[in-house]
Amino acid sequence: MTPFFKSPRRAMPLVLAAALATTSLVAITPTTALAVPAGGYADLVETISPSVVFIEVSGTSAAAGPKVEMPEGMPEELRRHFEHMMPGDGPQAQPVQGLGSGFIISKDGQIVTNNHVVEGADKVTVKLSDGREFKATVVGSDPMTDIALLKIEADVDLPTVTFGSSEDLRVGDEVVAMGNPFGLGGTVTTGIVSAKSRNINSGPYDDFIQTDAAINRGNSGGPLFNNAGEVVGVNTAILSPGGGSVGIGFSVPSDMVQNIVADLADDGTITRGWLGVQIRPMTQEVAEVLGYGTPKGAVIEAVGDDSPAKKAGLVKGDIILSFNGMAIEELRDLTRAVADTDPDATADVVVLHKGQEMTRAVTIGTLKPANA
């Protein structure tokens, strides 16, 4: 589990801690699926636990020593002496191991986990609850949403779980987290949905489910279930001053995960739309001048050369108010809307240009991978 405000990896004995940080009252009756099961969670856990897996990874990590500049004119004998005492100038490959969790979504062995669990791994091993072990291949991964898709080969159909709708979740609904915290396989914890659409400033696609179900290191990539046994989130991060659970955990919502997984299963990569602008929030002062109650939209700070935005006539200072019919209330609204638009599709972008609202038709480009 990635601790919020901490490095996603922390050294631990024998393991890499990649996954280890209105005015009227209306009575609402919870649906049967989202009420606490009569008699507890034992029957539910017995049904879904065979599909939750333990993931071990191994690989190498570059640990660069500081490069020390020797004074000019130093005698060669002294230079060799000090260089021998100093760390190497280049990165030194260090063996690393890590652990995490995941869950099987297809009988032929597709497994969902976190990108940070398997990132940089040379070997990925998947262990099932019945003790069977399989070598896994990484079909593809998406650092921006921290989702990865693995594949194992088995000679029999594997137990699976299905996705539920994260959009249908309500704050206060009961949820169940399963995984392998600190290597303790098959650990089950329960809690509620504490908040939805949480932005923890970890990236442009933040839209987390917040839960108080205990999530710890090693839970990364594990499923968050509703009481119908459907996966509604992938446990990804925790807010923790000390590295352990304090009841503030974050899961990638299942609606987003399903889209990412489908894209990865197709060709191992993620295709996202590209507009080609740098944006910032509207200030309160500007909002008041424009007659808005609160800031909204995305203010264009810069337009990239040869970008879809430039070709459509967008300029610095324009305020994007809506994208393809969706109102832009905050920056991440625009980021996600553009990313979810197919490249070469035309999108109507409503902007405030020199005090006048106008619509620009933009042909969306393809976002290059971050490491391209």
Judge whether 84 counts as a catalytic residue.
no
CA distances from 239 to 95, 154, 216, 251 (A): 28, 37, 10, 12
Which of the residues 220, 245, 251, 322 is marked catalytic?
220
Which of the residues 101, 116, 141, 322 is marked catalytic?
116
Report the distance separating Cα 123 and Cα 125, nearest Å.
7
Q: Which 8-state DSSP code applies to residue 28?
A: -
Report residue 287 as tokens.
């909002």
Report residue 348 as tokens.
């109507």
Judge whether 61 counts as a catalytic residue.
no
Contact 101, 161 (CB under 8 A): no
Which of the residues 146, 206, 212, 263 is marked catalytic?
146
Decide: helix, strand or coil at residue 325. coil
Report the distance separating Cα 335 and Cα 204, nearest Å.
7
Report residue 35 as tokens.
């009420």
Residue-by-residue DSSP string for 141-169: EETTTTEEEEE---SSPPP---B--STT-
In the block, tokens 């921006």 appear at: 144
Judge whether 146 counts as a catalytic residue.
yes
**Among 19, 17, 5, 3, which residue's Cα sits nearest to residue 148?**
19
Catalytic site positions? 116, 146, 220
